[in-house]
Structure 1
Amino acid sequence: MRMSGWFVAGRVRLAVSCLLLLAAFAASAAEQSGFVKVEGARFVLDGKPYRFAGANFWYGAYLGAPDGIGDRERLRAELDQLKAAGIDNLRVLAMSEASGFKRGVSPAIMSEPGKYDEDLLQGLDYLLAEMARRDMKAVLYLNNFWQWSGGMSQYVSWATGEPVFDPDTTGDWNGFMQNSARFYAIAEAQAWYRDAIRTVVGRTNGITGVAYVDDPTVMSWQLANEPRPGSDKDGHPNFPAYREWIHDTAGLIRGLAPKQLVSTGSEGAMGSLRDIDLFVQAHRTPNVDYLTFHLWPSNWSWVDHDDPAARLESGLATSLAYIDEHIDVAGKMGKPIVLSEFGLNRDGGAFSPESGVQARDRFYAAIFDRLLQRMQAGDAIAGSNFWAWGGRGRTTNPDWMWKAGDPFTGDPPQEAQGLFSLFDSDASTLEIVSSHARAVRALAP
């Protein structure tokens, strides 16, 4: 039977409409994926701008390990407190290496090249599962320039057979940094590191059954904590290898986890031989989705380490200028930027949770005010992670230094426990953090 023209045309229009509806539905589903994406110099989550107030929680996977190794009850309580304060983005250590360092963390996720502690990897599974339940995002870093988790110098030791270059024993930090930067050009070390990357990034969560690469809880993979091209005292012979390492490693991770973002974990200019131009050069690669920088005024002698109140105002002025410089650079590069570490000592250089934090509170408030101003202006700053959440962690050691088996605080093993930690009892600082989180969330799209 022959169909009339109007009937055929109607069927065609109906089919086209259905296809358009299906396409719109598919686009909407993709937009609602839960993965953080980059659009120009901003983050986007489910079609809306994503900005955050976060924390460093480096030991999260350790707490998540099975009880007897970790402390899952403490982890759940810590996550609940952070979430209640508006903190929903956590930067976490995802790989550590067994080492001979005096101040290295123990146990380690990697006991030797190619061998991994399944209990600690299960701790990362548990952490991500609990974060997903609370709608939190994770930034996971896969190495460390510094000695406290083994890191790059441990890879160098494994590859060369040399003993670790331990700055906590020798006091030679410049020599340590140059030794750590040898890592970028040692092929065997890079092969082991890439195996570690594939082990973590390619893992399937044993609790949720979700592959890490399909889990929107993971916002970003970071190449390392504070990777540097070496010491700023000895020129920059390692810079070409460092820049190539960033490009190649970021490209590897992008291939493994195309739904998630990649960043370096850099401190910015101070971690780039004190040269903002070298920072830019190292991050021009399209394989790096967004920039990071850190802010440590007392470590960098902008503020007195033993009495942060003494030179606080001048240190703040230098700190705010450092923030503005990096946000401006990110804007010119067309990439978002995150202040992914910042902190200040307790009053009088004390470590006790009962000691004062007036200078720190002033510092936090000023930093948050500047970040919020730049966000309100539509600039490239997308978020921050203070260093660091110490929560319930406490030490009873008279020298304040961590020992294997002690509770974890926000301060890693090479630093006094209480140096930069924000404890659960630091009510005034926590309210400043929470107020900033509320202000960020209230920003117009």
Structure 2
Amino acid sequence: MMFNSLRCLLLLSLGVLASGVAAERRAAGAPADFITVADGQFVLNGQPYTAVGVTNYPFTSGNIESIERVLYHARAAGITLVRAVNVFSVAHNYGAGGADFSRWNEEAHWREIDRLLDLADRLGMHVLLDLSDFRTVILDGLNIDPWSADAYPYYDEMVAWVTQRVNGDNGCRYADDPTIFQWLISGEPVPYGFTGNIHNMSRHVNVIEDLIFHVAEELKEHDPNHLVSAGGLLHFSGVPLDRHGQAYWRTIWSHPAIDCGAIHVYPGSFGGELTGEWTRLDEYQAYCQSIGKPLVLEEWGINQNEHDEATEIDYLTRGFDRAWELGIPVNIYWNWDPVGGYSIFTSRAEPLLAILSANAVRWGAPTPFPRFAEAVITGPLLFDFEAPAEAFVSTGYGGNAGPPTISADRAWTGEHALAVPVSFPSTAWNFAGVLTEFNPTRDWRGAGFIACNVWVPEHATDLSIKFMLHNVEEGWIAYVQQPEGERNNWLLPGQWNQVYGDLRPESLAFTRAGTAAAPGLDRVVRLTLEIHHAAGGAPYSGPVYIDALRLGDARTPYTPVGGHVWGRMR
């Protein structure tokens, strides 16, 4: 049995009881391995806790395979903390009104979170579980103002359910799992009066405070083991004072059920002295220290589509240096995924990862780091794209720029590949695609993965691939991959990428077709490959090359290289 399972059983046998909110938030007498707060510091087993982390947005829109790849790769870069967002994404991605409230606690989806927590524990990592998108589920799924008192019962239901959930992988109740660093309630609330802001979710600061405090107290009642954060605050300029006559961030951070301050810093100057909220970071840090709480730099980054590599490197270096100078213990970079230019994995991946890794060591990450080796999908070829025509046609989507052709300009194997012309002339989200139909239908029940290799040029920095299977006989369509949030379908520019989708029965991707039943892999009649351009991404028009489309009946594991053994590192 895993270490975490044994520890959770011990906690249950001891009958850990809620003890209220103390001035020292469980600094004395807390269960072993939980992060606590004392004297303005995070503390883990009597020692200061510091970390460099990353946000993985949208983390849980993928499947278990994607989660494994993200965590193994992040840990190999020295990252010991992941902020998991959109934990209710399965609910707010579906439904006629944009959300289906009944799905917020869908079991198949939460099995992903189980795997995330269990694997993070085994890799010696911590996880911030960000509950912010529950407000979207309430608004779009119930047509209720998520900041109003009418929403409180739904938050109460959610808090009770999530904290008491038992992890299906290791048997640990979430409230007893020290892998969870803290709960985040509702990041980036938008107060009325914010300078230059027009937003349909704007609320008076008193309303924002009331909701955050209500949920924080509920979390403390159901789960006294974990720290609670309001979520990172972003909007400061021009915000009216609250009922106490002070800035809302002071009131929120000083509340006894809130364990730390948290801030998102956008924008800043690039290539010069840090400006904006960077210049006030010392004020926020000093205030938190005056009330005995640490400050988390929960989110910051730079849009690569707007700045060259030298500027980005300079900004990252200055940002980390500023946080280090002020003694900020937890520093979380945005973003691990490709979201509108805020991504590590572009043609600049090598220097960006080097900066993250160097600062991870600075913030106390154990060394040496294990090296990351990609999984390799092997299996019989469906198409090698060597024939003059291999049955693929354009989907006619908005981003298609003509029919696909067999081209000798690029090849992963053999001498040819499928060239798909695309046109993404702006920074708007768009997509193109190709499809092929099977007659007779194909039986893919024994396959574990579907994979291919894809090449895009260096200036195509914001593209990803999604596989889609169809079984017309059953009216069934399965998105094997969501278009974003999938570490295993990003297209790193200037190189060949292996991209793949998970066909295994436990893959959540199939349930997103609208049914939790096993999909009809025995009668696949159509395969579509969609090429997605991320919102905010750099424009690109030209070919995307696809080769070696195959069914994967084997996958090498994510493995460390160089003799370092994966395992608990805290």
TM-score by length of 2: 0.53
Q: Could you tell me whether the CA contact under 8 Å between 2:265 and 2:278 is conserved in 1? A: no
Change (3 A) 1:442 1:389: closer
Over residues 195-225 of structure 1, what are the superposed CA-to-partner deviations in whole Å (9 max), with x where a residue is unaligned? Answer: 2222222210001001011111001001123
Q: Distance in 1 between matches of 2:109 and 2:365?
A: 37
Matched, 1:220 2:182: yes
Over residues 225-264 of structure 1, what are the superposed CA-to-partner deviations in whole Å (9 max), with x where a residue is unaligned? Answer: 3233345258986222221212111010011111110001
Match of 1:283 in 2: 253
Amino acid at match of 1:156: L
Q: Distance in 2 between matches of 1:75 and 1:220?
A: 19
Match of 2:147 in 1: 184
Match of 1:373 in 2: 325
Structure 1 residue corresponding to 2:286, chosen from 328, 347, 352: 328
Match of 1:147 in 2: none
Shift of the alpha carbon at 1:434? 0.7
Structure 2 residue corresponding to 1:313, chosen from 267, 272, 293: 272
Over residues 41-72 of structure 1, what are the superposed CA-to-partner deviations in whole Å (9 max), with x where a residue is unaligned? Answer: 10000110001111112343343xxxxxx151
Change (3 A) 1:433 1:106: farther
Match of 2:100 in 1: 111
Give SS of 1:183's match: coil
Over residues 111-145 of structure 1, what are the superposed CA-to-partner deviations in whole Å (9 max), with x where a residue is unaligned? Answer: 3247532111000001111101001001101123x
Change (3 A) 1:289 1:348: closer
Match of 2:212 in 1: 246
Match of 1:363 in 2: 315
Q: Could you tell me whether the CA contact under 8 Å between 2:166 and 2:173 is conserved in 1? A: yes
Change (3 A) 1:386 1:365: same
Amino acid at match of 1:77: R
Amino acid at match of 1:321: T
Match of 2:82 in 1: 90
Change (3 A) 1:37 1:115: closer
Give SS of 1:431's match: helix
Q: Distance in 2 between matches of 1:215 and 1:116?
A: 19
Q: Distance in 1 between matches of 2:240 and 2:117?
A: 35
Q: Could you tell me whether the CA contact under 8 Å between 1:140 and 1:218 is conserved in 2? A: yes
Match of 1:432 in 2: 355
Change (3 A) 1:32 1:246: closer
Aligned-residue Cα RMSD (Å) equals 3.3
Give SS of 2:82's match: strand
Amino acid at match of 1:42: Q
Over residues 398-430 of structure 1, what are the superposed CA-to-partner deviations in whole Å (9 max), with x where a residue is unaligned? Answer: xxxxxxxxxxx4x2xxxx3xx101117611011
Shift of the alpha carbon at 1:278? 2.0
Q: Could you tell me whether the CA contact under 8 Å between 1:95 and 1:196 is conserved in 2? A: no
Structure 1 residue corresponding to 2:300, chosen from 334, 339, 342: 342
Match of 1:295 in 2: 265
5+ residue gaps, structure 1 = 1-26, 64-69, 145-150, 162-181, 304-308, 350-355, 376-380, 391-408
| Structure with greater strand percent | 2
Structure 1 residue corresponding to 2:343, chosen from 421, 425, 436: 421
| Structure with greater helix percent | 1
Q: Could you tell me whether the CA contact under 8 Å between 1:60 and 1:127 is conserved in 2? A: no
Q: Distance in 1 between matches of 2:117 and 2:192?
A: 33
Change (3 A) 1:32 1:239: closer
Q: Distance in 1 between matches of 2:98 and 2:110?
A: 7
Q: Could you tell me whether the CA contact under 8 Å between 1:243 and 1:282 is conserved in 2? A: yes
Structure 2 residue corresponding to 1:140, chosen from 112, 129, 139: 129
Matched, 1:126 2:115: yes
Q: Distance in 2 between matches of 1:383 and 1:43?
A: 9
Match of 1:257 in 2: 223
Give SS of 2:296's match: strand
Q: Distance in 1 between matches of 2:122 and 2:365?
A: 23
Give SS of 2:311's match: helix
Shift of the alpha carbon at 1:96? 3.2
Over residues 251-303 of structure 1, what are the superposed CA-to-partner deviations in whole Å (9 max), with x where a residue is unaligned? Answer: 10011111110001132553893878221023321000111000111xxxx55
Q: Distance in 2 between matches of 1:323 and 1:140?
A: 24
Q: Could you tell me whether the CA contact under 8 Å between 1:95 and 1:110 is conserved in 2? A: no
Give SS of 2:299's match: strand
Give SS of 1:124's match: helix
5+ residue gaps, structure 2 = 1-25, 367-570
Shift of the alpha carbon at 1:347? 4.8
User: How many residues end up aligned between the 2 structures?
Assistant: 331
Change (3 A) 1:220 1:328: same
Amino acid at match of 1:155: I
Give SS of 2:247's match: helix
Q: Could you tell me whether the CA contact under 8 Å between 2:99 and 2:140 is conserved in 1? A: no
Give SS of 2:225's match: coil
Amino acid at match of 1:241: V
Q: Distance in 2 between matches of 1:267 and 1:241?
A: 15
Q: Distance in 2 between matches of 1:228 and 1:60?
A: 23
Change (3 A) 1:61 1:271: farther
Q: Distance in 2 between matches of 1:271 and 1:255?
A: 34
